Each structure stands twice: as C-alpha cells, then as structure tokens.
Amino acid sequence: MSTKGQGQGQGQFSAGALRGAGRGVVDHRLSRRHLVNEFRRGRLRQDQICDAHPELIRAARNVGTESRSACPICQESTLRLVTYVFGSRLPAQGRCVSTAKEMAALNQRSDDLTAYVVEACIDCRWHHLLRVLPVGGSGRRARTGSAG
C-alpha cells in the first residue's frame, strides 16, 4: 500500500497532529473560522478537515471536557476540549492533561512548557487548535482557571 501523503503520516501523535500548531498562526480562531467557511462553501471536503488523529479522539472521548459549542461541521455533537502539554522531559507526543491538579503540578516546573488546547468532535473527527498557553518556566504565568 502506498500513500499519497507528503510524509506527514498518521503515525505517532505529536504537536504536528494538532491543526493550527506552529507555522506562526497567531489567531487560532481566525484560522478555524476560515476552515469552517471553506467547508461550507464546498471548497474543502469533510474528510480534509475531519481527520483527527485516533489518539486525539480517544483522549477527547475519555478525558476531554465538554465545551459549550456544538461542532461547526456536523452540528450534532458537542465539542470536547483536550489539553496537551509539550516540553522538555515530557513525552514527545505530549502529556495529555485532564485535571486542574495535574496542570498546577506542571505549572510548578522550572522548564518552559507549552500547553495546547484543542477542540475535537468525537463524531465527525473535526479538530482544531484553540489556544496555546505558556506553562511553568520562569514566568509561571499560565492561568489554569477559566478566565478569559
């Protein structure tokens, strides 16, 4: 079996599996809205944007917290939020954080860590990065509460 992908692969889960991560995207809401619009205009097929990594879907189902918004694609399911923390001395595929206590512990670390909050639909497999937060490090300025 040969795949036509560009070497991206669906192998190990990593920050690269989180759409919107990297590439200097500053406003994740903007890029999300853009994708949703393109889908509604028929310029993107559902399978092009609903391609969450199985690992992400499993995390969303098991430890994800329910968000208040419905899935913008299938509009049937409520989106779930999953937080991954990446950084040195953490697994390459990130640490999936499901409790505030766990997040607080990571925030105590002296390493500079980065938390990625991702929304995912366990029905149609839509996923998108919502925000990126600094965790731990010298600043220890991450707000783990619901402010904002």
Binding residues vs Zn ion (CB under 5 A): 71, 73-74, 77, 121, 123-124, 126
Query: To the nearest whole angstrom, how small is the minimum distance from the Cβ of residue 17 to Zn ion?
Result: 18
Give CA–CA dist 118/110, Å, rounded.
Answer: 24
Query: To the nearest whole angstrom, how small is the minimum distance from the Cβ of residue 16 to Zn ion?
Result: 22
Instruction: Return the number of the residue (124 or 132) whose C-beta is nearest Zn ion.
Output: 124
Instruction: Return the number of the residue (118 or 121) whose C-beta is nearest Zn ion.
Output: 121
Query: To the nearest whole angstrom, how small is the minimum distance from the Cβ of residue 74 to Zn ion?
Result: 3
Query: To the nearest whole angstrom, how small is the minimum distance from the Cβ of residue 60 to Zn ion?
Result: 11
Instruction: Return the number of the residue (37 or 99) whose C-beta is nearest Zn ion.
Output: 37
Instruction: Return the number of the residue (119 or 142) whose C-beta is nearest Zn ion.
Output: 119
